[in-house]
Structure 1
Amino acid sequence: MAGNSGLKRTLRHLTHNEAAPGIVLMLCAAIALILANSPLAEPWHELFHHPLSWTPIPKLDTLHMWINDGLMAVFFFVVGLEIKREILDGELSSPNRRRLPVIAAIAGMAVPALVYMAIAGGEPDLHRGWAIPSATDIAFAIGVLALAGKGLPSSLRLFLLTVAIVDDLGAVLVIAFFYTTGLDITWLGIAAGLLVALIALNRAGVSSLLPYIVGAVALWFAVLHSGVHATIAGVLAALTVPLALNKQHDSPLLRLEHALVAPNGFLIVPLFGLANAGVHFGLPEGGSATLPLAIGIGLVLGKQIGIFGSIIGAERLGIAQRPEGTSLRQLWGLALLCGIGFTMSLFIAGLAFPQSPALVEEAKLGILGGSLISALAGLVLLKGSARRVIA
């Protein structure tokens, strides 16, 4: 019994530790990389990409597709819940609070894309990958920030979270507008009707979770067949869930978010890492270094130039003030952490080059290399700045 209670305490501590999901993701990525460069590489690849003997949805005929198009819709559903909560009642709820994070996030997406195109723009086949280095992996970044230790101002963590949430919103819009092909008008119409029905539930004051969950699954199924990427359904469905608090200061949105945070952080994102992070070290036969270099440099240099530069510029122009109690060195370290693309970058890479597994493998090299350099450089800067204030 004592052992069981100790295990329960450990599990409770892990699920309430914000750094834990990022650390679990790092371990899964490491496992995938080791297996992809071992004698087990082929069976490991087959596990995720070999057609399933049976699937309830013919469009999802591999384990990889179930993870990327199915489980990741839940990941984006949680992202949608976070975005709505932050916009209505969080750090994005007032102009003064959202000004700097929005500026930093936009610059942090635009500059890496420009860096990417400056390097890869001469090769038309690579143009679709422009958004890959624009993404930030919030779980990974928070995990590394936690490893930097105590002594960092709490405003730094809050600013990182807010920038990452705006970044996630930007990534969702990029996926919806730039990586949607072959629209099926019938399914798109069904999806639109389901979205209107979910909005009507919200307007009618329905607070039961079941109708929203059923509606979200139906919307996902329709979007999956519409030509728009299925994960967009997760965000759209989340935005219809009511946030209005009851007398107990609870709401359907908060209940759903609370229920899904742990499965999202400890199951869905790690599974995505296992299925997508496994890349063989070295370029594929006949491959080029242009794509991994464009992505890696975009993540390492583009992110820090965009985010750190926009923070300094906004402060000097009097547009916004830096987070309270933070030093320039700490903000520089934070900008580097935003160069950890990983989950979202890997996801966008698959959308950018769906017909070219070789390019996806090249992209993974750039994503992993750029994310690792960003994580280590950010960690060194932040560890050195803890408990010190540097102007």
Structure 2
Amino acid sequence: MTRQHHPLGRLAARIARTFGGEAGAGILLIAVALAAILAANSPLAHAYHQLFHGTLPWSPIAKLNTLHLWINDALMALFFFVVGLEIKREVLDGELSRPDRRRLPVMAAAAGMAVPALIYIAIAGGTAGLSRGWAIPAATDIAFALGVLALIGKRAPASLRLFLLTVAIVDDLGAVAIIALFYTSTLKLGWLAFAAALLAGLAALNRMGITRAWPYVLLGGVLWFAVLHSGVHATVAGVLAALTVPMKLDRGGDSLLLRMEHAMAPLSAYLIVPLFGFANAGVALGGISLAAIASPLPLGIALGLFLGKQAGILGTIWAAHRLRLAQLPSSATWPQLWGMALLCGIGFTMSLFIAQLGFPTSPELVEEAKLGVLLGSLASALGGYLVLRFSARPA
């Protein structure tokens, strides 16, 4: 059964049509962010926070005793599963499969993560307790950035979208590695060994040529449960499980990986990510002043996203071009490349997620981090849109 005729495939296509593709995903994220901010600054503020952070009367997993934890540790594992599927497809048969194609976006993505982190450290690293937030401005929100680019339409060359997508995918891979390496609590070796055995089982299914979904879903769910209790953040299980899903094409040119990605990508973009955004973007604006915005944590994040991303990415593209290390995206002008680099400063989903991991015991710092993420992402989105809008060639 092909992706188009599979029931989940038909559902995915219907969801994508309903929301208007990439532009719709970006607009939906903007809408839920605004809704969360309005809820957090209205008479509904207490109900909003109680909904997500209040202790549930019952939970099948004691470790996840709030709706916020279910969203961040369980639903976001599905988001990372989709990210893992996308990364594997691109590495095996996409823009990351050939050295000449991946060289420039990989270099740009690496610099686009390093420079924001350095700016954050320069501004906030010297303040006690803030150094753990260094990775917050290093992330890029794929859906948000591509959604804003989609608003430009055909006036931006297709190569620009492809380059942005590739940079964002490499950025996501870097973010997953950062979460696994730097935001891991005390390891529990028993659970970790159990997770390793489950991962080996998933790899064995792939080696045996199993192409039915349910064994991967079953073992993947148990793997997530084991990783949740191992000390490694549970979302890493999503990426690890995705990397074991078979990519080999059948006689009809289809594969289990393509079917899963086709079915789950719209559900992730239009349900999981917006729900995460609504649960995490609510910032109480009462009492916020210029002094508060200029404090080290929000200022370091905002400037890291807005200045660091464009400086790292555009600077790397310019240097690679001057040194003849890689070719520029075809038909893209320098102003358009600048606009694309600005869009990479939209951190939203991943930045908010890392903020929760960076300051797990300090709600006050998380709120400050959210403010920096929203300010930096908003400035990057508006700046990128305006640069692309006025540099775009007529359709």
Q: TM-score range by the shorter chain?
A: over 0.9
Task: Quote the residue 1:76 is aligned against.
Answer: 80
Q: CA deviation at 1:91?
A: 0.1
CA positional deviation for 1:16: 6.3
The 1-side partners of 2:126 and 2:286 are apart by 23
Q: Which ranges of structure 1 fall in alignment gaps of 5 or more residues?
A: 1-7
Equivalent residues of 1:149, 1:383 under 8 A apart: no
Q: Distance in 2 between matches of 1:133 and 1:85?
A: 26
Q: Who is 2:323 aligned against?
A: 317
Q: Deviations over 1:74-98 (max 9, x none)?
A: 0000000000000000000010000
AA aligned opposite 1:338: C
Secondary structure of 2:304's aligned partner: helix
Q: Deviations over 1:80-131 (max 9, x none)?
A: 0000000000000010000000000000000000000010121131000000
Deviations 1:136-181 (A, max 9, x none): 0000001111122331100000100000000000000000000001
Deviation at 1:11, TM superposition (A): 5.3
In 1: Cα distance, 2:317 partner to 2:109 partner: 10
Find the counterpart in structure 2 of residue 38 from structure 1: 42
Residue of structure 1 in register with 2:9 after alignment: none
Aligned-pair distance for 1:13?
2.2
Is residue 255 from structure 1 mapped to residue 259 from structure 2 by the alignment?
Answer: yes
**Alpha-carbon spacing, 1:166–1:9, altered in 2? closer, same or farther (3 Å):** closer
Kindly state the Cα deviation for residue 283 of structure 1 after the two structures are TM-superposed: 6.0
Q: For residue 360 of structure 1, what is the aligned residue in structure 2?
A: 366
Amino acid corresponding to residue 186 of structure 1 in structure 2 = G
Aligned residue number for residue 338 of structure 2 = 332
Amino acid at match of 1:233: A
Report the Cα distance in structure 1 between the residues aligned to 2:118 and 2:318, rounded to whole angstroms: 20
Structure 2 counterpart of 1:315, one-letter code: H
Deviation at 1:340, TM superposition (A): 0.2
TM-score normalised according to structure 2 size? 0.94
**Take 1:151 and 1:21, find their aligned partners in 2: how far apart are those partners?**
20
- Counterpart for residue 269 of structure 1: 273
The residue type paired with residue 208 of structure 1 is R
Superposed CA RMSD in Å reads 1.8
Matched with 1:189 is 193
Shift of 1:14: 3.0
Residue pairs, 1:149-298, within 5 angstroms: 149-281=153-285, 289-298=295-304
Question: 2: distance between equivalents of 1:23 and 1:74?
Answer: 22
Return the letter of the residue paired with 1:99.
Answer: R
Identity %: 64
* Equivalent-residue separation in structure 2 for 1:322 and 1:344 (angstroms): 27
CA distance in 2, matches of 1:381, 1:9: 32
Matched with 2:4 is none
- Give CA deviations for 1:31-61 in whole Å, capped at 9, x if unaligned: 0011111111111011000000000000000
Between the aligned partners of 1:125 and 1:292, the Cα distance in structure 2 is: 14
Give the TM-score of the pair, scaled to structure 1: 0.95
Sort the Cα spacing of 1:265 and 1:189 in 2 relative to 1 into closer, same or farther, 3 A.
same
Q: Which amino acid aligns with 2:74?
A: G
CA distance in 2 between counterparts of 1:305 and 1:207 reads 44
Partner of 2:106: 102
**Residues of 2 paired with 1:12 and 1:362: CA distance?**
34
Match for 1:194: what amino acid? Answer: L
Q: Distance in 2 between matches of 1:9 and 1:225?
A: 35
Instruction: Give the aligned partner of residue 4 of structure 1.
Output: none
3-state SS of 1:125 partner: coil
CA–CA distance in structure 1, aligned partners of residues 263 and 13 of structure 2: 18
Q: Note if contact 2:41-2:286 (Cα within 8 Å) is conserved in structure 1.
A: no
| Aligned residue runs from structure 1 range 47-58, under 5 A | 47-58=51-62
- The one-character-per-residue Cα deviations of 1:217-275 (angstroms, maximum 9, x if unpaired) are 01000000000000000000000000000000000100100110111111100000110
Instruction: Describe the shift of the 1:191–1:51 C-alpha distance in structure 2 as closer, same or farther (beyond 3 A).
Output: same
Aligned counterparts of 2:159 and 2:184: Cα–Cα separation in 1: 37
The DSSP-based 3-state class of the residue aligned with 2:327 is: coil
For 1:145, the equivalent position in structure 2 comes to: 149
Give the letter aligned to residue 261 of structure 2. Answer: E
- Sort the Cα spacing of 1:211 and 1:354 in 2 relative to 1 into closer, same or farther, 3 A: same
Give, as a single letter, the amino acid of the residue that structure 1 aligns with 2:240: L
Q: How many residues align?
A: 382
Following superposition, the deviation at residue 26 of structure 1 comes to 1.1
